[in-house]
């Protein structure tokens, strides 16, 4: 009887040690996952700051750089020119803000062609790429949080 009791106690001891080892392993892996989430959140903060600063820079450049504007005295002239050659007057990269596109102090009836459309829209394209990258990272962080929450519920 004593032999059976000592054998059961030894089995219980081994199982409790195994349980403690599993708990330590789980906590270690959970800490690693949390560290990954924190690192990703820090990257998101940095990228959001970059996006904001880039957006502000583009906005400032558009406000200060008169060469990026069309030079029509009246909106009617712009509409005529757009109908004649719509590809020259694609203003989608300026968010259709007509006030930025018109220069009322000028009587010229042509678009300033010294700056190509590619250069005008290049910064908008870069902002879009950074925003897409930031959104991808944010989605990854959310997935990591969900996995950690699901692991916690599994206990």
Residue position matching structure tokens 């719509």: 86
59 with 122, same domain? yes
pLDDT in tens, 79-120: 777 777 766 655 554 444 444 444 444 444 444 444 455 555
* 6 inside domain: no
Measured distance CA(114)–CA(14) in Å, rounded? 81
Domain count, the chain: 2
3-state secondary structure of 109: coil
Q: Which residues lie closer than 8 Å to 121 by C-beta, 6 or more apart?
A: 92, 93
Examine the pLDDT at 22 and tell me if it is beyond 80: yes
The range of the structural domain enclosing residue 78 comes to: 70-111
Instruction: Count Cβ atoms below 10 Å from residue 101 Cβ, excluding itself.
Output: 19
pLDDT above 70: percentage of residues in the chain: 59
């Amino acid at each position: 009887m004593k032999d059976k009791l000592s054998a059961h106690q030894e089995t219980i001891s081994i199982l409790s040690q195994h349980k403690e080892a599993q708990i330590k392993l789980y906590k270690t892996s959970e800490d690693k996952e949390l560290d990954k989430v924190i690192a990703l959140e820090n990257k998101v903060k940095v990228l959001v700051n970059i996006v904001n600063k880039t957006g502000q820079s583009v906005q400032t450049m558009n406000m200060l750089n008169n060469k990026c504007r069309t030079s029509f005295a009246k909106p009617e002239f712009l509409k005529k020119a757009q109908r004649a050659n719509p590809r020259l007057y694609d203003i989608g990269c300026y968010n259709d803000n007509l006030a930025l596109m018109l220069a009322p102090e000028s009587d010229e009836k042509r678009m300033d062609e010294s700056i190509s459309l590619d250069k005008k829209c290049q910064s908008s394209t870069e902002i879009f790429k950074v925003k897409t990258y930031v959104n991808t990272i944010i989605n990854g962080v959310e997935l990591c949080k969900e996995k950690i929450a699901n692991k916690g519920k599994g206990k």
